[in-house]
Chains A and B, each alone.
Chain A
């Protein structure tokens, strides 16, 4: 149990927040160790298989809470391995949101304009590309056509997919077998490894303490490769700088558990959690109407019946991303694929008179699965999630060998959040039920609560110490040398897919982290190019770097 292992920088988690930090710190000359709770899977490890124990369950965590369940990555590369690679930038009004605190919740130093150079860096590194209509799946095309029919606009989503390799298999959530998804396994992580960073999978960090010489000590358990309920050892590593990027469902839990050894945590640790205002609707299409009303045909006799085909979301409607609308009335509506096993049970029977999510009518709904079109709403919620006291280990009491656990998040949606969902539901209905195109129903919140694949804000940046755990450089208030760079740092719902913003905010945090490391005697510099050597992103952000070095 006792260990004298030391490193300069210890990174907890290897998703966007962890991988980006690990790359820059390692490239700058620091000794970096990354502890990742999940397994290290690549290429052929990514199965097309729903069987428990396949990559589909190994790489994911589904944490059931009280009123909110969270789906998150659990593998080297984190969310980037299992996500759908939609990478839009957040609309300008998002940074001006007040949310539940009656004042701007983003730090004054962060706006769409000041984040733009950091978005550019991410776009260059991953890379993120604009999609053409020829890249859009049948489901995305159907959504676009329905939006157009209803007088709305619709956009192909910018994405981190190499379309030349994509087989449109829709197994993205199990990791990409064809190396088409440009996850962190292809850019920041190999960059970090090339510069000497060490990534240790199946290492679950439990808490942090102080060493006698003023550094930090990270305490971890080793998790069994197959049955995550089993612990296969434990250890500690000392470091001068800690970067927490375990995900918004886990980072605050580690800090809560560390309160006994590190002292009082900022009030906002484990509070203000946002589910990105997410909610799902299922439309069951009338295939004849798809042909007659929208004029769509696949050319093989079918109009649609293509729920299974594609690459996650490809088209979104952004008409309601209008900054002149009142807060909680702005949302995007995005076509999405959601595979069986992870949420089909939550789809409700449109117009149900009996049970809506199980039973005879639900079985009939399942039999029309090929004609499903799932619409993903990203609205403005009220940051109403709060984490209760942490469980014995990790962030959940694990039930199954992988994936399923019960966490401590409580989420009781406010009237604002409910209003946003109701408006988004009505909009989806208005678009898709026109002229008998489809029948629509929202997913139930009564089974596992609301459901998010984009947990945010549980340890957020801000200017106000009472409502933000981090200062505007992502450093944990009252605990210098601990930084948080994952989705928990994002102050609130973004109304679009958040990966691009999480990554940009992490890029923005790096100069300050490097500076803090230098102050602690670490021989490290800031200024690495993109992992592939490109430099235009670095150039673009250079003028902002000096502003991020002082407190």
Chain B
């Protein structure tokens, strides 16, 4: 992704990708990937579909994403100035931040007491949901397609009918003494 032609959509997408990548980091999609910092091996929130999820109006966030990106870049400019980071005008200001600084800024924005905390937490929630539950996809389809989050977590594949069943589920034996004050129906006395 070369930032030569940076229209508003591209700024928005790169900024949100960089935010999602801060929540669940992943490997770069290509050597010149700027939004994804490459801070962790394997796909992260972006590869898991964070942008697809955020752009879906069912989340209730899609209409505000441009504003999120604008605000985040504003915070990034202030942050960069505070830390005397060299500006890089070829990418949006949040994308220009090195990963550890993106992380520190997201920590600041999501700390209790920050006036915009609610917004950044909701953006983080959906970024994480793209990875841990692929909430924009049918779960069985996502697993079949090798969704990076569900696979990384080791979620089992369903039966052919798309339902999960675990015939083996129990160690099958008593593993502790019962509390002495247990009623015959199994409740605390």
For B112, the chain A residues whose CB sits under 8 A away are: 446
| Minimum CB–CB distance for A157 against chain B, Å | 7
Query: Cα distance A355–B170 when bound, in Å?
Result: 36
For A133, the chain B residues whose CB sits under 8 A away are: 170, 172-175
Query: Cα distance A193–B22 when bound, in Å?
Result: 52
Q: Mark A284-328, 1 if CB is under 8 A from B, else 0.
A: 000000000000101110000110111000010111010000000
The answer to the question of A42 belonging to the interface, with a C-beta cut-off of 8 Å to chain B, is no
The answer to the question of A155 belonging to the interface, with a C-beta cut-off of 8 Å to chain B, is yes
Contact A340:B60 (CB < 8 A) given known A48-B162, A133-B172, A155-B178: no
> Does B165 lie within 8 Å of A366, measured CB to CB?
no
The one of B111, B129, B177 in contact with A153, judged by C-beta atoms closer than 8 angstroms, is: B177
Query: Cα distance A137–B175 when bound, in Å?
Result: 12
The answer to the question of B80 belonging to the interface, with a C-beta cut-off of 8 Å to chain A, is no
Q: How many A-B residue pairs have CB under 8 A?
A: 220
Q: Mark B149-189, 1 if CB is under 8 A from A, else 0.
A: 10011111010001111111111111111111111111111
For B24, the chain A residues whose CB sits under 8 A away are: 358, 362-363, 366
| Minimum CB–CB distance for A328 against chain B, Å | 18
Query: What bracket does the count of chain B residues touching chain A fall in?
Result: 35 or more
| Minimum CB–CB distance for A438 against chain B, Å | 16
| Minimum CB–CB distance for B66 against chain A, Å | 17
> Does A366 lie within 8 Å of B153, measured CB to CB?
yes
The answer to the question of A152 belonging to the interface, with a C-beta cut-off of 8 Å to chain B, is yes
For A157, the chain B residues whose CB sits under 8 A away are: 186
Query: Cα distance A138–B171 when bound, in Å?
Result: 6
The answer to the question of B39 belonging to the interface, with a C-beta cut-off of 8 Å to chain A, is yes
The one of A130, A321, A344, A400 in contact with B186, judged by C-beta atoms closer than 8 angstroms, is: A130
Which residues in window 101-146 of A have CB below 8 A to B? 123, 128, 130-131, 133-138, 141-142, 144-145
For B107, the chain A residues whose CB sits under 8 A away are: 355
For A542, the chain B residues whose CB sits under 8 A away are: none
Which residues in window 41-68 of B have CB below 8 A to A? 44, 56-61
> Does B25 lie within 8 Å of A359, measured CB to CB?
yes
Query: Cα distance A116–B23 when bound, in Å?
Result: 49
| Minimum CB–CB distance for B38 against chain A, Å | 11
The answer to the question of A50 belonging to the interface, with a C-beta cut-off of 8 Å to chain B, is yes
| Minimum CB–CB distance for B61 against chain A, Å | 7
> Does B44 lie within 8 Å of A363, measured CB to CB?
yes
| Minimum CB–CB distance for B41 against chain A, Å | 9
Question: Which DSSP category, helix, strand, loop or mixed, fits chain A's interface?
Answer: loop
> Does A369 lie within 8 Å of B60, measured CB to CB?
no
> Does A318 lie within 8 Å of B179, measured CB to CB?
yes
Query: What bracket does the count of chain A residues touching chain B fall in?
Result: 35 or more
Q: Mark A246-269, 1 if CB is under 8 A from B, else 0.
A: 000000000000000000000000
Interface centre among B106, B121, B183, B188 (most CB of A within 10 A): B188
For A134, the chain B residues whose CB sits under 8 A away are: 170, 172-173
Nearest-CB residue, chain B, relative to A347: B132
The answer to the question of B16 belonging to the interface, with a C-beta cut-off of 8 Å to chain A, is no
Contact A448:B121 (CB < 8 A) given known A141-B170, A168-B169, A319-B179: yes
Query: Which of A88-96, A208-216, A414-422, A451-459 is the interface stretch?
Result: A88-96
> Does B60 lie within 8 Å of A167, measured CB to CB?
no
Contact A399:B61 (CB < 8 A) given known A91-B188, A136-B171, A345-B132: yes
The answer to the question of A483 belonging to the interface, with a C-beta cut-off of 8 Å to chain B, is no
For A364, the chain B residues whose CB sits under 8 A away are: 40
Query: Cα distance A128–B183 when bound, in Å?
Result: 14
> Does B135 lie within 8 Å of A309, measured CB to CB?
no
For B168, the chain A residues whose CB sits under 8 A away are: 298-300
The answer to the question of B134 belonging to the interface, with a C-beta cut-off of 8 Å to chain A, is yes
The answer to the question of A233 belonging to the interface, with a C-beta cut-off of 8 Å to chain B, is no
Query: Cα distance A227–B56 when bound, in Å?
Result: 13
The one of B40, B131, B175 in contact with A360, judged by C-beta atoms closer than 8 angstroms, is: B40
The one of A92, A167, A446, A448 in contact with B166, judged by C-beta atoms closer than 8 angstroms, is: A167
Query: Cα distance A69–B139 when bound, in Å?
Result: 26
For A154, the chain B residues whose CB sits under 8 A away are: 175-179
> Does B178 lie within 8 Å of A153, measured CB to CB?
yes
Contact A50:B186 (CB < 8 A) given known A133-B174, A305-B154, A354-B103: no
> Does A446 lie within 8 Å of B176, measured CB to CB?
no
Query: Cα distance A308–B157 when bound, in Å?
Result: 11
> Does B23 lie within 8 Å of A369, measured CB to CB?
no
Query: Cα distance A216–B27 when bound, in Å?
Result: 61
Q: Mark B100-114, 1 if CB is under 8 A from A, else 0.
A: 000100110011100
Contact A170:B164 (CB < 8 A) given known A88-B186, A136-B170, A141-B170: yes
> Does B165 lie within 8 Å of A91, measured CB to CB?
no
> Does A169 lie within 8 Å of B164, measured CB to CB?
yes
For A144, the chain B residues whose CB sits under 8 A away are: 174-176
For B186, the chain A residues whose CB sits under 8 A away are: 88, 130-131, 155-158
Nearest-CB residue, chain A, relative to B187: A89
For A141, the chain B residues whose CB sits under 8 A away are: 170-171, 173, 175
The answer to the question of A177 belonging to the interface, with a C-beta cut-off of 8 Å to chain B, is yes
The answer to the question of A427 belonging to the interface, with a C-beta cut-off of 8 Å to chain B, is no
The one of B61, B118, B164 in contact with A406, judged by C-beta atoms closer than 8 angstroms, is: B118
> Does A158 lie within 8 Å of B124, measured CB to CB?
no
Query: Cα distance A90–B140 when bound, in Å?
Result: 39
Query: Cα distance A340–B156 when bound, in Å?
Result: 13
The answer to the question of B125 belonging to the interface, with a C-beta cut-off of 8 Å to chain A, is yes
For B10, the chain A residues whose CB sits under 8 A away are: none
> Does A52 lie within 8 Å of B22, measured CB to CB?
no
Q: Footprint of B on A, CB under 8 Å?
A: 48-53, 64, 88-92, 123, 128, 130-131, 133-138, 141-142, 144-145, 147-148, 152-158, 167-171, 177, 227, 229, 296, 298-300, 305-306, 308-310, 315, 317-319, 321, 332, 339-341, 344-345, 354-355, 358-360, 362-364, 366-367, 369-370, 398-402, 404, 406, 446-448, 496, 500
Give 13 A-B contacts (CB < 8 Å), ordered by A residue: A48-B164, A88-B186, A89-B185, A131-B186, A138-B171, A167-B166, A300-B168, A308-B166, A345-B124, A359-B103, A364-B40, A367-B154, A401-B58
Known: A52-B56, A155-B176, A366-B149; 17 extra A-B contacts, CB below 8 A, are A49-B138, A49-B139, A52-B58, A141-B171, A154-B175, A310-B169, A332-B188, A341-B132, A344-B133, A363-B44, A366-B132, A366-B153, A367-B154, A398-B60, A402-B58, A404-B60, A447-B121
